[in-house]
Every structure is written in C-alpha cells, then in structure tokens.
C-alpha cells in the first residue's frame, strides 16, 4: 500500500516534467521524482522497532542481528541523494545560464533548436 503511494509520487513528478513549461517547475518535478524513489528505497529497509545497524560496546551479536535494520538501502539512498544533488546543481546552473541567454524561464520561448 505504501509502495503504491511512492509510485503515485513518482507519477506526479513525471507529470510535472512532461507538462510544465517553466524551467524551475520542471526541476522541482525532477526532485519530486528522485524523492519518490529515495522514499521507496528507505521503505524497503524499514523494520518495526529496528535499531541503527551500528554495533556499540556491550551489545550481543544475536540481538543486534535480530533488531538491526538493513543498512544497504540506507547506503543506497545516501548515494542516490548525492547523485541527485549533483544533477540538481547541474540543472540549476544550466537553467541560470539559459535565463541569461533568453531572459525567460518559459521553455516554449526557447526555440533555437528545431526538435
């Protein structure tokens, strides 16, 4: 059920990317899509009453294994967020340059290319 909500969020982002005309709104839609996927990855690793997957002094290996959450999705999300940060920074930089050239954020008015 929760996963369906992730998919919905993903689709909302996709809708925004496809339909919106403003560069900034497209970037925000892209961020929404990335967040949806990150949320999905975090939810895969969710465990009720779980503890952080870090062994501390005096903890028994058995209880640790029984209660710790899966660390892999968290590592994935961290990496995905970093990549998302890089992509977003890149997009914003290009959008700023585009504004410099065209004086607008409206994608319909950028018509130097045919396609």
Query: Contact positions toward other proteins, by CB under 8 A?
Result: 10, 14, 17, 23, 26, 30, 33-34, 37, 40-41, 44, 52, 54, 56-57, 72-73, 76, 78-80, 82-83, 85-87, 89-103, 110, 112-115
Structure tokens at 11: 């689709």
Q: Please tell me the distance from the alpha carbon of residue 12 to that of residue 7, in angstroms, as a whole number.
A: 9
Minimum distance of other proteins from residue 65's CB (angstroms): 15
Minimum distance of other proteins from residue 44's CB (angstroms): 5
Name the nearest CA neighbour of 42 among 70, 1, 84: 70
Per the CB < 8 A criterion, the answer to whether 91 and 27 are in contact is yes
Nearer to other proteins, 62 or 115 (CB): 115
């Amino acid at each position: 059920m929760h996963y369906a909500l992730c998919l919905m969020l993903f689709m909302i982002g996709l809708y925004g990317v496809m339909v919106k005309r403003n560069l900034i709104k497209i970037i925000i839609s892209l961020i929404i899509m990335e967040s949806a996927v990150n949320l999905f990855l975090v939810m895969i690793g969710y465990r009720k009453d779980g503890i952080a997957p870090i062994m501390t002094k005096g903890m028994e290996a058995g209880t640790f294994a029984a209660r710790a959450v899966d660390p892999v999705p968290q590592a994935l999300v961290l990496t995905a967020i970093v990549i998302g940060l890089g992509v977003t920074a890149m997009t914003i930089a290009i959008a700023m340059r585009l504004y410099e050239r065209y004086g607008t954020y409206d994608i319909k008015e950028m018509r130097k290319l045919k396609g």
